[in-house]
Amino acid sequence: MDPQDLKTAWQSLEARMARSDQLHLAVLRDTRLQRARAALRPLKIGHWLQLALGLGLIALGVACWTRNTDVPGLLMAGVVVHAFGVLNIIGATLNLALAARIDYAAPVLVIQRQLAALLRAYALNAAVCGAPWWILWLPVVVAFAGLGEVPAGAGTPAWITWSLAIGGIGLAGTWLYGWRQRARTQALDANAPARCADGADGIRRSQRLLAEIQAFETE
């Protein structure tokens, strides 16, 4: 075979291999991004439910404290539930906004940064709106009680005091466990999958799928 023909055939083969690699990468990117998008759907549904919960807590809190301005305990319970409802709405809205702004047509590094921001916001929301339920369920129960007729100057039942104490211990234990889990995750090898029971599995699954695309692109 003529050297020029051999060179032309080799260049044609290289071009076909390059097109095949590009097609393979495009298919892999498309399938992985679809799976990454799907992995975030349960998280979005959960935060829409949290948003609805926040609206319900605001309605309950307002109904309680406006009816019991002369009963300090019920007034305080209503205000706390009202404020907690606002926090739930803020946390859910922030996470939904960050999830919605993820641009799956952007470069992988950009998507990874957006997922990292969502993971940080999720962790903050879990700490502010999730863990406090160890204690916050009690003001919610009291707020429901405040919707009925309660005599002014009524004392605080013993069960409320004991429930607050138990809830405080549970809240401290939850925060301590979360802190130890984060420290353990940071100590893992960078290539090892992080296993944290914090409900952010969907985000981490998306991050792993993006890492697969990045690894293929850099080969």
**129 close to 152: Cβ distance less than 8 angstroms:** no
Determine, yes or no, domain membership for 3: no
**48 close to 104: Cβ distance less than 8 angstroms:** no
Determine, yes or no, domain membership for 62: yes
Residue with the larger pLDDT of the pair 89 and 195: 89
Range(s) of the domain holding residue 125: 29-149+156-217
Count of domains observed in the chain:
1
Determine, yes or no, domain membership for 8: no
Determine, yes or no, domain membership for 83: yes
pLDDT tens figures, 71-88: 777 888 889 899 999 999
Determine, yes or no, domain membership for 12: no
Q: Which of 7-11, 123-127, 139-143, 212-216 has the lowest mean pLDDT?
A: 7-11
pLDDT at position 88: 96
Write down the mean pLDDT value for the chain: 77
pLDDT tens figures, 182-208: 566 555 444 444 444 456 788 888 888
**27 close to 218: Cβ distance less than 8 angstroms:** no
Determine, yes or no, domain membership for 16: no
CA–CA gap between residue 148 and residue 12 (Å, rounded): 83
Q: Which of 143, 134, 193, 144 is closest to 168 using CA atoms?
A: 134
How does DSSP classify residue 43?
A: H
CA–CA gap between residue 39 and residue 203 (Å, rounded): 7
Residue with the larger pLDDT of the pair 69 and 165: 69
pLDDT tens figures, 105-115: 888 889 889 99
**What's the pTM?**
0.72
Q: Which of 95, 159, 160, 164 is closest to 132 using CA atoms?
A: 164
At which residue do the structure tokens 């906004």 appear? Answer: 97
Q: What's the token pair of residue 13?
A: 């083969």
How many C-beta atoms surround the C-beta of residue 91 within 10 A? 23
Determine, yes or no, domain membership for 22: no
